[in-house]
Amino acid sequence: MKPRPYLPITMAMLLTAVGLFATEAKAEPPGRVASETSAARTEVVFGTIGIGAQPVRGSLIELLEAELRGMSLSLVEGQPAEPLSAWASKATRSGSVLAVIFLDGRSEQGWRLVIIDAARGRAIVRALPGGIRDDAASIEAVASIVVSAASALREGLEVASMPLAAVVGGSANAPLPSPTPNPGGEEEPTLAKSNPEPWKVRAQVGASVASFSPAAPTMEGLALALGVSFDAHVEARAFGSAFLPALIRSPLGDFRVARTFLGAAAGPVFQAPTFSFAAEAGFVGERLGRHDATPAAGAVGTEPRALYRFGGVLALRLRHTLLRPLSVELVAGGMYFGRRLQFTARSADSSWSETVWPAVAFAQLGLEVATN
């Protein structure tokens, strides 16, 4: 039987089509392939190493869960274990893991954040000198870097330039290598870094209550303050309070007393992830004014005039961050004035006096706004 003449032609056409298909597959842009692969990865594994990072683990988990949820990503808690290389390999083995990230808080010099690209098996280290000890914004910096890295990886971009073994090849007790610049000269996707300004401006407004005298034990008013903080360790502020007039009644008549405080204070600040505690000392001036006097029959009123006295103030302030830059603040303290004040009234056959306490206890509850 003679071979059919169209068989060689058909075979040639099939071989040509296969070759063209293979060429197109090889020419597929790597960025697109990585993007399609990354789209199927929806988990970010996060853990901490070292005593220095443990106190902030809970706050970081809550913050990262909220941020990643908005990107349709889920956070998976993981605890790094020795050897780190085996733990990292196991954590990146799942096809649903986009990135493995852990915070290293073993060094007293600061934190190191390790970011592992699960799809490519590469890693990078970001240094945060000082950690929470020297920078209260370190928690936000870690969260910002994690979110930026997850966003870049989700788009198929490369954020890690070092081989995984070079970063986590040692045991959990071995120091991680320092970050190195990209030798290729190409810029990596920019991850958010913490460069907090050492100075911050703070403003407070709130309700205030202060002790006054036996006839008017307390006075209520409005408190305002404007201050600055340096390196989140020291704060200084100028403050003022204006109180509603208090009615003083006596057998010889009634009158009202207006009262205001002005002062300045400074002191150290002790930071926690979402709380801060400050102790301050300073000086304060008080202005008292009597008005609306209504003398009783037989008593004579005198012209009102302002009275002033000066003293010192000690206060404790507790601040809780609600949503940066907004915080709620509770202040409690005391003032002492060296000058005693006394209101007096006389008639033809009697007299009356009211002493203003030299020591004043006060408390304030309000809101604070601070620059980032």
pLDDT on residue 280: 96
Rounded Cα distance between 205 and 153, Å, is 43
Contact partners, residue 181, CB within 8 Å, separation at least 6: none
User: Do 239 and 90 have their domain in common?
Assistant: no
Domain membership of residue 257 (yes or no) is yes
User: Do 305 and 254 have their domain in common?
Assistant: yes
pLDDT on residue 182: 45
Domain membership of residue 13 (yes or no) is no
pTM of the predicted model over 0.85: no
Q: End of a domain among 149, 168, 187?
A: 168
* Among the listed residues 156, 138, 149, the one whose alpha carbon sits nearest the alpha carbon of residue 101: 149
Rg (CA), the chain: 34
Q: Judge contact between 321 and 302, C-beta under 8 A.
A: no
Q: End of a domain among 145, 168, 191?
A: 168
* Among the listed residues 254, 366, 371, 360, the one whose alpha carbon sits nearest the alpha carbon of residue 320: 366
Rounded Cα distance between 313 and 126, Å, is 44
Domain membership of residue 191 (yes or no) is no
User: Do 303 and 157 have their domain in common?
Assistant: no
pLDDT above 90 covers what percent of the chain? 27
Beta bridge partners of 100: 45, 116
Specify the CATH number for the domain of residue 150.
3.40.50.800
User: Do 246 and 131 have their domain in common?
Assistant: no
User: Do 268 and 354 have their domain in common?
Assistant: yes
Rounded Cα distance between 271 and 273, Å, is 7
What is the span of the domain harbouring residue 285? Answer: 199-370
User: Do 225 and 76 have their domain in common?
Assistant: no
Rounded Cα distance between 227 and 196, Å, is 18
Please state the domain count of the chain: 2
Residue-wise DSSP of 36-62: HHHHT--EEEEEEESGGGGGGHHHHHH
pLDDT on residue 164: 76
User: Do 250 and 360 have their domain in common?
Assistant: yes
Q: Judge contact between 113 and 82, C-beta under 8 A.
A: no
User: Do 205 and 164 have their domain in common?
Assistant: no
pLDDT on residue 162: 81
* Among the listed residues 329, 327, 310, 313, the one whose alpha carbon sits nearest the alpha carbon of residue 280: 313
Rounded Cα distance between 58 and 152, Å, is 25
Burial of 60 (0-12, 13-18, 19+ CB in 10 A): buried
User: Do 46 and 157 have their domain in common?
Assistant: yes
> What end-to-end distance do the CA atoms of the chain give, in Å?
89
User: Do 215 and 328 have their domain in common?
Assistant: yes
Q: Judge contact between 208 and 225, C-beta under 8 A.
A: no
pLDDT on residue 135: 52
Regions of the chain short of the pLDDT cut 70: 1-39, 51-52, 82, 108, 130-137, 169-197, 273, 298-302, 348, 372
Pull the structure tokens for residue 257. 């007393």
* Among the listed residues 182, 129, 126, the one whose alpha carbon sits nearest the alpha carbon of residue 149: 126
Domain membership of residue 100 (yes or no) is yes
State phi, psi for 339 to the nearest 5 degrees.
-100, 130
Domain membership of residue 115 (yes or no) is yes
| Strand order from edge to edge, sheet including 110-117 | 74-77, 43-49, 97-104, 110-117, 122-129, 162-163
Rounded Cα distance between 344 and 351, Å, is 7
Domain membership of residue 358 (yes or no) is yes
* Among the listed residues 370, 146, 174, 167, the one whose alpha carbon sits nearest the alpha carbon of residue 269: 370
Rounded Cα distance between 149 and 128, Å, is 16
Pull the structure tokens for residue 26. 């090889």
User: Do 207 and 286 have their domain in common?
Assistant: yes
User: Do 321 and 215 have their domain in common?
Assistant: yes
Specify the CATH number for the domain of residue 365.
2.40.160.20
**DSSP 8-state symbol, 170:** S
pLDDT on residue 1: 45
Domain membership of residue 27 (yes or no) is no
